[in-house]
């Protein structure tokens, strides 16, 4: 058709999801991915782990690296405590266009979710001066696996991790982020736990 699969998925979600209902938007994405085409979103199984951790920690400031189509963003946003804010970073302009529509379709405005476009290594140093993120209490990494360690160090170097911050990184075993895992386990700054799960869908 010449239409990217991310746009095909959005058209399905737009036709089948209830606007302003984040759970229904996620469910529509899940139906599409189960029955039509695979999208590399976090998915419902791993999503429940992320959502549980987010509700347990109840952070005020959440940072997502790797917006893609907005599935993970909606998952995070609907689990936020009242008054909390989510910053999400997307590098691909085509994905930014889809994610923006998905986030707003789910009912989240810019006061709750700020979508920041650009490569993470360029965006992270600007998060405080340009976007007002003093420090993140919760970070969800689901972007390029080779970027995990670099971006964790950038967050550390720019003082963007609050004391006691939680960092959740997807797909660290497959396709894998071995250098990130080794650093997190051996640098002495973090307590690590691996959550076993299957690939999405």
- pLDDT tier at 104 (50, 70, 90 boundaries)? very high
Q: Which domain does 59 fall in, by range?
A: 42-187
82-96 pLDDT, tens digit per residue, is: 999 999 999 999 899
In a domain, 29, yes or no: no
In a domain, 18, yes or no: no
pTM exceeding the 0.85 threshold for the entire prediction:
yes
In a domain, 8, yes or no: no
In a domain, 23, yes or no: no
First to last CA, the chain: 24
pLDDT of residue 125: 98
Query: DSSP state, 200?
Result: P
Strand residues in the chain grouped as ranges (E): 61-65, 85-90, 113-117, 136-141, 161-169
Q: What is the spatial distance between Cα 187 and Cα 121, in angstroms, rounded to a whole number? A: 21
In a domain, 79, yes or no: yes
Instruction: Give me the active site residues, please.
Output: 142, 145, 170-171, 200
What CATH number corresponds to the domain at position 63? 3.40.50.150
In a domain, 22, yes or no: no
* Counted domains in the chain: 1
Q: What is the spatial distance between Cα 199 and Cα 43, in angstroms, rounded to a whole number? A: 8
In a domain, 196, yes or no: no
Number of helical (H) and strand (E) elements in the chain, helices listed first: 9, 5
CA-closest candidate to residue 200, choices 30, 53, 4, 79: 30
18-32 pLDDT, tens digit per residue, is: 999 999 999 999 999
140-175 pLDDT, tens digit per residue, is: 999 999 999 999 999 999 999 999 999 999 999 988
% pLDDT > 90, the chain: 92
Q: What is the spatial distance between Cα 18 and Cα 181, in angstroms, rounded to a whole number? A: 39
In a domain, 97, yes or no: yes
């Amino acid at each position: 058709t010449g239409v990217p699969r991310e746009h095909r998925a959005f058209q399905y979600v737009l036709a089948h999801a209830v606007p302003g209902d984040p759970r229904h938007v996620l469910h529509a994405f899940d139906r599409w991915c189960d029955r039509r085409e695979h999208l590399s979103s976090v998915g419902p199984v791993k999503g429940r782990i992320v959502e549980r951790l987010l509700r347990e920690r109840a952070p005020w400031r959440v940072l997502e690296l790797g917006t893609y189509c907005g599935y993970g963003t909606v998952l995070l946003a609907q689990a936020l405590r009242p008054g909390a804010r989510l910053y999400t970073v997307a590098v691909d302009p085509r994905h930014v266009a889809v994610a923006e529509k998905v986030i707003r379709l789910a009912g989240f405005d810019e006061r709750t979710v700020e979508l920041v476009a650009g490569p993470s290594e360029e965006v992270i140093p600007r998060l405080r001066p340009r976007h007002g993120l003093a420090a993140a209490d919760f970070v969800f990494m689901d972007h390029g696996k080779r970027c995990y360690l670099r971006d964790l160090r950038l967050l550390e170097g720019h003082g963007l991790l609050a004391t006691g911050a939680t960092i959740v990184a997807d797909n660290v075993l497959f396709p894998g982020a071995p250098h990130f895992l080794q650093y997190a386990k051996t640098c002495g700054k973090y307590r690590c736990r691996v959550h076993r799960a299957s690939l999405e869908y």
